[in-house]
Structure formats: structure tokens, C-alpha cells
Amino acid sequence: MAKQRTVGIGMDYSATSKSALRWAADNLINAGDRIILIHVEPPKASHSRKQLFEDTGSPLIPLEEFREINFSKQYGLNNDPEVLDILDTVSRTKGAKVLAKVYWGDPREKLSDAVDDLKLDSLVVGSRGFGPIKRVLLGSVSNYVVTNAPCPVTVVKGTPSSKS
């Protein structure tokens, strides 16, 4: 029997992060694996739980609680039907355990830190497909994470935007 893995998935509810989740559910997750949806809120975001967990990130949130709108809003999470459907399906069909965790800060650093914090075996993130100039000006979360995370990172490409 294969070792059960812990797979992190960066989630900001963009089309590319949903594609990354869908790709991981279809191609990476095996029976009994643990999926941790990692959401990074901006440092200035103010949610009722931020004061308690700003330094360490939220406790792990089980899928059952993540589904509850009032609970999710305390952490600034979206109750996105598409994301919940993918998570419910992978949980039901593959027996994966689904959790979520919220961090506050720079997504590049927090996603990289999450690898050690959560003892991830793998991390999946979406890429917005910035052109070379935007990538230099705005920075690339996926590029930073691939370079700095101490585990395998899969970048699921989205539809390329303009090449500026």
C-alpha cells in the first residue's frame, strides 16, 4: 500500500487556483491522501480570527467547518460552490481527508513556510501566466515557491494574459 501523502494546494479562488485544485484532484490525489487548501490573506486584511492566529496561521479547518458560511467568513474565506464541489468529490470518491488553513502575509513567503509547517509532501499552485514584464514588476508567486519550497511543487498554468 502506498504511503498516504499530505498535498498542499494554494487557493485564492482565482480561475488558475481552481484549475490547480481540479488538476490535483484528477491527477495527484490517491486514496487516503490528505489535502490541505492553503489560503493566504493580505497582511492588512482584518478578520475576527486574524489577531489570534496571525503569527502561526489558523488551526487546520476540516471540510465540514469550511463549508459553513459563517465559519468561513471569520477567516475571510469564500464559500465557493465550485471549490466545495471539487473537494466534496475528491473526499467522497478517493477517501481523501480535506482540510484548510489560512495564513496572513505575503503569499510567496507563506506558501513556502507552509511546506515545513504542514509537513507537505507536495504543493500545487496555479500560475496566472504573466508575461515577462509583468512577472518582473509584480513578481511571480509560483516562481518564488518553486525556487524556495523544500518539496516538489507543481505549477498548473492558466490561460496566458497579454504578453506585456
100: closest CA among 80, 128, 129? 80
CB of 75 within 8 A of CB of 61?
yes
Q: Is residue 71 part of a domain?
A: yes
Q: Tell me phi and psi for residue 54, to 5 degrees.
A: -60, -40
Number of domains observed in the structure of the chain: 1
Q: pLDDT tens for residues 68-113?
A: 877 777 777 777 889 999 999 999 999 999 999 999 888 888 998 9
Q: Does 163 reside within a domain?
A: no
CATH of the domain at 132: 3.40.50.620
What pLDDT band is residue 115 in, cutting at 50, 70 and 90? very high
Q: Is residue 125 in some structural domain?
A: yes
Residue 146 inside a domain? The answer is yes
